[in-house]
Amino acid sequence: MKGTIALVTGAAGGIGEAVVRLLAERDVTVAAVDLDPDRLATAVGKLTADGHTVRAYPADVTSSREVEQLVDTVERDLGPIDHLVNAAGVLRLAEAHALTDQDWSTTFGVNTNGVFFTSRAVVNRMIPRRRGAVVTVASNAAGTARDRMAAYAASKAATTAFTKCLGLEVARHNIRCNVVAPGSTDTPMLHGMHTDHGAAAASIAGNPDTYRVGIPLGKIARPEDIALAVAFLLSDEAGHITMHSLTVDGGATLGV
């Protein structure tokens, strides 16, 4: 992957930031994209201070027009994009019948529309070059029902299906599209689900009242664990893998 160019959304924190760091450490030039310009500048500043080639691009992935402008700017600044990582995501917790219109539209705006807009913009430029790899960070919730996570799970299921369909259509252009489906990961999103600061313990133990099993490996994932899976699917080591969903959840969904 040395000498290639990657665009990573959701780059200012959690899994996205870990992906940016890992790719940069492997000598990939990274366009780091996030809605929050201050957090993005801080994250990118740490990486550039370490000598890595990372550029900050504040942008809203829910805007088709803004995404097209973003991709044009990145390719003008850095060169042709070889890798895309869709890591931007939001979570709105509520029982399905209590979700607001805003909860639903915001969740799908980022988790699904954002993936569509960014993938379309990047892949349309990859096709004439006949090369490229896309990885979408979805969730194990895309295939396993979770209490109070209907909007999130539905958006990630849609995103998973979209990425696989895209992969089918662009395989003839030598472009691979895969999904990484994390479970509970040590990120602000996970900790925000638990007001008593017991996110890790609760995830590991599970909760029979909500029909949620625990984590057989007895630990939650680090963002770096997810980043390693993403990097593998982007790399030539995964050169014959496409339309695949790689679950990284410590066994929380029992291999389903």
Q: How many domains does the chain have?
A: 1
Structural tokens at position 86 = 């869709």
In a domain, 212, yes or no: no
For 197-240, the pLDDT digits (tens) are 677 888 999 999 999 999 999 999 999 999 999 999 999 999 99
Write the CATH number for 238: 3.40.50.720
**Full residue range of the structural domain in which residue 50 is found:** 5-183+221-246
Residue 211 known to be catalytic: no
Structural tokens at position 17 = 């930031």
Q: Which of 116, 117, 152, 162 is catalytic?
A: 152
Q: What is the pLDDT averaged over residues 59-67?
A: 98
Q: How far apart are CA 158 and CA 154, in angstroms?
A: 6
Q: Among 115, 137, 112, which Cα is nearest to 231's? A: 137
In a domain, 120, yes or no: yes
Q: What is the pTM assigned to this prediction?
A: 0.96
For 160-180, the pLDDT digits (tens) are 999 999 999 999 999 999 999
In a domain, 18, yes or no: yes
For 69-97, the pLDDT digits (tens) are 999 999 999 999 999 999 999 999 999 99
In a domain, 234, yes or no: yes
In a domain, 194, yes or no: no
In a domain, 53, yes or no: yes
In a domain, 193, yes or no: no
In a domain, 116, yes or no: yes
